[in-house]
Amino acid sequence: VECSSVAEALAAAGAGADIILLDNLAPKELHAAAAQVKAAHPGVTVEASGGIVLGTLPQFLGPHIDVVSMGCLTHSAPALDFALRV
């Protein structure tokens, strides 16, 4: 379930969500929310997403974050022009 606040995340986990995606949170807010979700629901997978790029990735890694999604890997990938002749 995609959540944009700790209240939404706790409600979703309490309702039975297996994976909580914390979207577009600043690193400090993200880690606090993830810690609260894991404390209340230890079996839930917590995913960080939204605006994360390779340069800021270390800020989003932490003990309560299980998965990180980075859209930049696909939507910002440079094009490659090549040909294959057989």
- The position carrying tokens 């079996």 is 43
For residue 65, the cross-strand partners are: none
pLDDT tens profile 5-45: 999 999 999 999 999 999 999 999 999 999 999 999 999 99
Q: What is the pLDDT of residue 23?
A: 95
66 has pLDDT over 80 = yes
Q: What is the pLDDT of residue 81?
A: 86
Average pLDDT of the chain to the nearest whole number: 92
Distance of alpha carbon 29 from alpha carbon 3, whole angstroms: 13
Sorted by where each begins, the domain ranges of the chain are 2-73
Q: Which CATH class is domain 2-73?
A: alpha beta
The number of residues making up the chain comes to: 86
Which runs of E-coded beta strand occur in 1-86? 2-3, 19-23, 45-49, 67-68
pTM recorded for the entire structure: 0.82
